[in-house]
Amino acid sequence: MLDTLGRLSTIGTERASRLEWIIDDGSQESKTARPGPSSQSRRKTLDIESLEREIIQRRCLMFCTYAAGTDVGKRDINQDSYVCHPKSNLWLVADGVGGLAMGETASAITSYTLARMISSGEGVNQAIETTHAIIREFADSCGVNMGAALVLVLAKGNLYNIFWAGDCRAYLFDGSLKPLTRDHTHSQFLIDAGHLTEEEAATDSRKDGITKAVGIRELDSVEADRISDKWQAGQKILLCSDGLSGYVADEDICAILNSPGSDQDRVDQLISLALKQDSLDNITAIILSAPDTIPGDDDDTKIPDKSVLDNLGVDRGEG
């Protein structure tokens, strides 16, 4: 099923081989012109929606920079996967749920399905529901329970949207470190209810129990939590699996994000520190960075609304 949708490229690193998704959507850099009206027509055809999409994509491609990495750690199999697809404004980390079957398969289906659907223009919520259904159907056919946690960033212009389900995390860094996501775990539920403190939760036996993830049979449907905000100059967003966040303290993450060097250097340092801290899980991190100067909200290109186009006798190309 998976190889009908795209392809995987295995890329070697100094620590371990890793899987990096390459989305092959058949698109080309050259654009085919839309067929125009006959020469006798006085009306012009203008594909407004395509123009709007192209403007948004071009702004985002010029806006963010990123770096990523993953390591199998002390496990035999890497059940993490990640997507970096700037053409679709998408960055994603997925992690197979521990204690369930075939976590690497659930993670791979999650990354692949979400990347494929979102890059094709589907909404994130619909893509997550479809991913949930695909994993459950596959798991049922194998007679097992499967699932994957996920966190993703969908960036459009100066805005970013973060969706998550499970215990993969997103952090905002702007000189200090701020968690943007809240784990869907039993221990976090007990903390929120006032039954556990943060200190007690760190050693509680229920800390790894997941209450929300795609694919798990306990949930008929999954709706990811979501936050949205505007980029500010110099900000960074870190996406990671719990192999990093569960073993590296926030102050150490902050110090590395504030260190000199490139974002790829920082990703490598985060993974190395998690390994030194005896992380028992796979470790994955993506750093997404805003430039030091943020473009204004006003764009040089203005799209006239429908009433203006109708007054000019322009066909919006809506069929």
- Check residues 57 and 192 and name the one with the higher pLDDT: 192
pLDDT at 28 over 50: no
Residue 205 half-sphere exposure, CB side, CA atoms within 13 Å? 0
Q: What is the pLDDT of residue 271?
A: 97
Domains in the chain: ranges and CATH: 54-315 (3.60.40.10)
Q: What angle do CA 107, 243, 254 make, to 5 degrees?
A: 125
Query: Which pLDDT value is given to residue 189?
Result: 59
The string of pLDDT tens digits covering residues 73-96 is 999 999 999 999 998 999 999 999
310/319 Cα distance (integer angstroms): 15
Which amino acid is residue 60, in one-letter code? C
For the ranges 187-196, 207-216, 278-287, the one whose mean pLDDT is highest: 278-287
| Lowest mean per-residue pLDDT among 152-161, 188-197, 221-230, 262-271 | 188-197
Q: For the chain, what is the mean pLDDT?
A: 78
- Which of the four pLDDT bands, split at 50, 70 and 90, describes residue 214? very high
pLDDT digits (tens, 9 = 90+) for 165-188: 999 999 999 999 999 999 987 666
Q: Which residue has the higher pLDDT, 281 or 199?
A: 281
**Mean local confidence (pLDDT), 182-196:** 70
Read off the pLDDT of residues 125-152 as tens digits, 9 standing for 90 and up: 999 999 999 999 999 999 999 999 999 9
CB neighbours of residue 208 within 10 Å: 17
What secondary structure letter does DSSP report for 4? Answer: G
**DSSP codes joined into one string, 103-146:** HHHHHHHHHHHHHHHHHTT--HHHHHHHHHHHHHHHHHHHTS--
Element (H, E) at 70: strand 65-71
Q: Minimal CA–CA distance to 219: which of 114, 139, 153?
A: 139
Alpha helices by DSSP H, the chain: 48-63, 103-119, 124-142, 186-192, 198-201, 242-245, 250-257, 263-276, 306-312
Q: Cβ(267)–Cβ(287) under 8 Å?
A: yes
Tokens for 310, please give them.
């109708």
